[in-house]
């Protein structure tokens, strides 16, 4: 299994390749979004928001975000969520996406795990990105041992980290592929505050 990196939304089509477990695409607005996201974190206005929206409803995030969020911050978030939702709809042929936007100051999922869904898009808007381990480097005996918190990675291999601002699509455990258990990942441990956007296709 391999990771694909790119700078075009069309690169996400590689997620359908049998040997691809993760696609990560850099976005031109990432630096501006990070600056605005830090402002949102400081405002303490978005501890956690969850909703389901149609992929062709660009105004849905506007209805979900607190009205007190600064207009330029809200506009940036709305545009990014709308674009990512539309892209997922076209790529995965889903009609809806589940959206989660939350401010974190401690690891949300401190243990390495897989998501038991077909796939999930993770976008760290500010702060450290998500940790993950390539499938070929996972020590599955350690992974399956719930009594240990040791990272399930083979000796002399390095834990990978998704880049802040990148759109990263991870295959989950429900992706239809024999012998593939999903991308192994966790929240970063050496974190300050981070703003995380996650989108799940709804079938």
- Tell me the pLDDT tens digit for each residue of 111-135: 899 999 999 999 999 999 999 999 9
For residues 70 and 40, what is the distance between their CA atoms, to the nearest angstrom? 8
pLDDT recorded at residue 195: 93
- The residue range of the domain holding 122 is 2-202
Mean pLDDT is highest, among 108-112, 162-166, 174-178, for: 162-166
pLDDT recorded at residue 107: 55
- Tell me the pLDDT tens digit for each residue of 133-158: 999 999 999 999 989 889 999 999 99
pLDDT recorded at residue 192: 81
Check pLDDT > 60 for residue 197. Answer: yes
Q: Which two tokens stand for residue 39?
A: 């402002």
For residues 128 and 195, what is the distance between their CA atoms, to the nearest angstrom? 9
Q: Which long-range contacts (CB under 8 A, 24 or more apart) does 88-93 make?
A: 88/55, 88/121, 88/199, 88/201, 89/55, 89/56, 89/201, 90/55, 91/12, 91/13, 91/15, 92/118, 92/119, 92/201, 92/203
Which among 65, 38, 69, 33 has a CA at the least distance from the CA of 50?
65
Q: What is the mean pLDDT of the chain?
A: 93
* Under 8 Å between Cβ of 21 and 169: no
pLDDT recorded at residue 190: 73
For residues 62 and 81, what is the distance between their CA atoms, to the nearest angstrom? 10
Q: What is the CATH number of the domain that holds 137?
A: 2.60.120
Check pLDDT > 80 for residue 109. Answer: no
Q: How far is CA 59 from CA 33, 54, 62, in A?
A: 18, 10, 5
Which among 195, 175, 199, 170 has a CA at the least distance from the CA of 52?
199
Percent of the chain at pLDDT > 70 equals 98
- Tell me the pLDDT tens digit for each residue of 175-186: 987 789 999 999
- Tell me the pLDDT tens digit for each residue of 23-62: 999 998 888 899 999 999 998 888 899 999 999 999 999 9
- Residue 40's H or E segment, with its range, is helix 30-43
* Under 8 Å between Cβ of 62 and 75: no
For residues 199 and 85, what is the distance between their CA atoms, to the nearest angstrom? 8
Q: How far is CA 182 from CA 74, 84, 112, 165, in A?
A: 33, 21, 11, 22
Structurally, the chain folds into a number of domains equal to: 1
């Amino acid at each position: 299994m391999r990771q694909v990196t790119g700078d075009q939304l069309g690169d996400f089509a590689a997620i359908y390749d049998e040997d691809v477990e993760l696609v990560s695409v850099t976005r031109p607005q990432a630096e501006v979004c990070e600056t605005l996201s830090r402002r949102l974190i400081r405002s303490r206005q978005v501890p956690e928001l969850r909703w389901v929206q149609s992929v062709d409803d660009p105004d849905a995030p506007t209805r979900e975000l607190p009205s007190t969020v600064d207009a330029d911050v809200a506009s940036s978030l709305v545009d990014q969520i709308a674009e990512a939702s539309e892209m997922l709809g076209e790529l995965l042929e889903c009609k809806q996406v589940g959206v989660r936007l939350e401010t974190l100051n401690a690891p949300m999922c401190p243990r390495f795990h897989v998501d038991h869904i077909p796939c999930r898009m993770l976008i760290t808007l500010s702060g450290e990105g998500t940790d993950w381990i390539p499938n070929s480097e996972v020590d599955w005996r350690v992974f399956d041992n719930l009594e240990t918190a040791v990272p399930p990675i083979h000796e002399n291999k390095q834990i990978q980290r998704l880049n802040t601002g990148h759109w990263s699509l991870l295959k989950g455990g429900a992706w239809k592929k024999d012998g593939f258990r999903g991308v192994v990942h966790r929240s970063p441990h050496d974190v300050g505050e981070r703003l995380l956007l996650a989108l799940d296709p709804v079938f």
